[in-house]
Structure 1
Amino acid sequence: MQLTKESVLAQANKASKNTLMETLNIEMVDYGEDFLVARMPVDSRVYQPDGVLHGGATAALAESVGSFASHIFIDTENKFVRGLEITANHLKSVTEGFVYAKATFLHKGRTTQLLDIRITDDHDNLISICKLSTISLPKKK
């Protein structure tokens, strides 16, 4: 079956039901040959006590889009994907609008993957830079 942009995004968003992604209102919004983009609204659900975007919510957005990217671009009929490590460098605060996370591969190995995830705001300002490593393990038959 040929994967279309619409089918990939619909599948990813359907899989988010009743998960942290749904709680944070994370939505996959764009997909291409080598990237996946998600967005998350910045509102009181993801604030720190002082009214700015919480770094943990940013990391959850990054891990969500990076894990989905690994899932989409890896042979998931025979393998499953798990996150190994995430790092996040927060560069700028956000108080409203949306943040967008674009995941691209730095390394796409058979077993391990490394993704670069850039978080930007509605004005394309760089908010955070994240790195996510994932592992693909064989499914037990």
Structure 2
Amino acid sequence: MKVHTLYTKSFLLPLFFLLLTSLISHSKACNVIDKEALLQFKNKITSDPSQLLNSWTLSTDCCKGWNGVTCDSTTGRVVSLTLSGTVDDGIDLPFDTYLSGTLSPYLGNLTNLKILSQTSCNIERRTRKPPDE
């Protein structure tokens, strides 16, 4: 009987930690409305010589790996959009992105956006009502 109890404990403990780790590290996927807003923003960009927006694709999650996008891990909503990047991994040196284009009214659909940083961008702003969700 003791062998069975020991085996059960040695099996359940790692399983418990695996489950706990997956729950802690799990973050919610990008909100569909936010992703559409960002892709519409990208469509209005006419020049992106630094290729900052190359990671913004329909097939990827905007909360995981899109340059300049930060999401709330519990809601999957975009909370920060930083249109300047870094040079290589681990080196935090700002560089000019020189994005050019028109500021998309779809950005108005990013209802949880707290930070919009457009350092060294040439983006024209036109006053227009944001599209309906």
Query: TM-score scaled to structure 2, two decimals?
Result: 0.28
Query: TM-score scaled to structure 1, two decimals?
Result: 0.27
More helix by share: 2
More strand by share: 1
